[in-house]
C-alpha cells in the first residue's frame, strides 16, 4: 500500500474515534512493526504498544465498573480479560483492516505476518495509544468502546475461555486435569505452535496458534467440540 493510501486508511480509522483530521502522520507509527523498523532504520510501534496496553485496560475497566455495578471483582476481572485478550483485539483489527496498513519487513510479510494474531493485536494497542497521545483520552475511549467493546459478546458463557471450560468439565466429570504438550513448529520471524491436550492417557484435542497460549486455547476448543459431538464425558 502506498504512503498516501495508507494515510487515507489511517484517516478513516481516526474518524472511527469521532475525530476529523487530515494530519494523521503521527498516528502512522502505530502500524510500524519492528521488522519494518529494523529494515528502514526507524522507530517501531513497540513503545506505543506498551502505553496502549495500559490505556486499553483503563478504558475497559472503567466501562465495566459503570456497566456492571452489581458484579464483584472476580467477575469484572473475567470480563476484562475477555475484552483485552489478543484473539479479541486481533478480531477487531481484522475487521478494521489493520492488515492492510501494518508495515512489515519483507520476510515477515512474505511469511504472512499481516494475518498474525499477535501483530494485529499489538497494532491495535499501539493505535489506541496514538489516539490517546494525539487527541486525548476521550477520543481513545470513544474508539475502544464503539469499535471494540460494543462488538463483543458479553454473555456470561462467552467470558470463560476454552481452557477454563475444559478444565471445569474434566474436573466435574472425571476429577482430572487437562495436560498440554506443546511443539514449536515455526521460526522467530513467523512463530507457530501446536498443542495437544490430554486427559489422563487420552488425546482429546489438537490446535495450532502463533503462541503457546493460542495453540492451547485451540486445542481446548477442539477437545470441547469433540466431547460435545460424541455426547460423552471428559473421561
Rg for the chain, CA atoms, rounded: 20
For the CA atoms of 51, 56, 59, 61, the dihedral, rounded to the nearest 10 degrees, stands at: -110
Residue 140 has which C-alpha cell?
481513545
**CA–CA separation, 158 and 162 (whole Å):** 10
153: exposed, middle or buried (Cβ count in 10 Å: 0-12, 13-18, 19+): exposed
How far, CA to CA in Å, does 191 sit from each of 53, 70, 153, 204? 22, 41, 29, 24
The grid coordinates listed for 149 are 467493546
Name the strand (E) or helix (H) holding 197: strand 193-199
Residue positions annotated with a catalytic role: 53, 125
d(CA 93, CA 9): 13
Euclidean distance between CA atoms 55 and 32, whole angstroms:
19
Give the separation between CA 55 and CA 63, rounded to whole angstroms. Answer: 12
* Cα separation, 205 vs 180, whole angstroms: 10
Other Cβ atoms closer than 10 A to 14: 23
Amino acid at each position: 500500500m502506498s504512503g498516501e493510501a495508507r494515510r487515507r486508511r489511517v484517516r478513516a480509522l481516526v474518524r472511527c474515534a469521532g475525530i476529523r483530521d487530515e494530519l494523521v502522520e503521527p498516528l502512522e507509527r502505530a502500524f510500524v512493526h519492528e521488522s519494518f523498523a529494523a529494515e528502514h532504520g526507524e522507530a517501531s510501534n513497540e513503545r506505543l504498544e506498551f502505553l496502549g496496553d495500559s490505556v486499553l485496560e483503563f478504558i475497559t475497566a472503567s466501562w465495566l465498573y459503570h456497566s456492571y455495578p452489581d458484579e464483584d471483582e472476580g467477575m469484572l476481572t473475567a470480563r476484562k480479560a475477555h475484552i483485552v485478550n489478543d484473539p479479541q483485539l486481533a478480531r477487531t483489527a481484522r475487521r478494521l483492516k489493520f492488515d492492510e496498513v501494518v508495515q512489515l519487513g519483507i520476510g515477515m510479510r512474505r511469511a504472512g505476518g499481516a494475518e498474525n494474531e499477535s501483530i494485529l493485536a499489538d497494532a491495535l494497542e499501539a493505535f489506541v495509544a496514538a489516539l490517546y497521545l494525539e487527541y486525548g483520552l476521550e477520543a481513545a475511549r470513544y474508539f475502544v468502546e464503539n469499535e471494540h467493546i460494543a462488538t463483543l459478546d458479553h454473555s456470561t458463557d462467552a467470558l470463560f475461555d476454552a481452557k477454563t471450560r475444559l478444565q471445569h468439565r474434566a474436573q466435574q466429570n472425571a476429577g482430572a486435569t487437562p495436560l498440554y504438550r506443546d511443539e514449536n513448529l515455526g521460526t522467530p520471524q513467523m512463530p507457530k505452535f501446536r498443542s495437544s491436550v490430554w486427559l489422563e492417557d487420552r488425546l482429546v484435542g489438537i490446535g495450532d496458534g502463533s503462541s503457546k497460549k493460542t495453540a492451547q486455547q485451540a486445542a481446548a476448543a477442539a477437545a470441547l467440540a469433540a466431547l460435545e459431538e460424541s455426547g460423552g464425558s471428559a473421561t
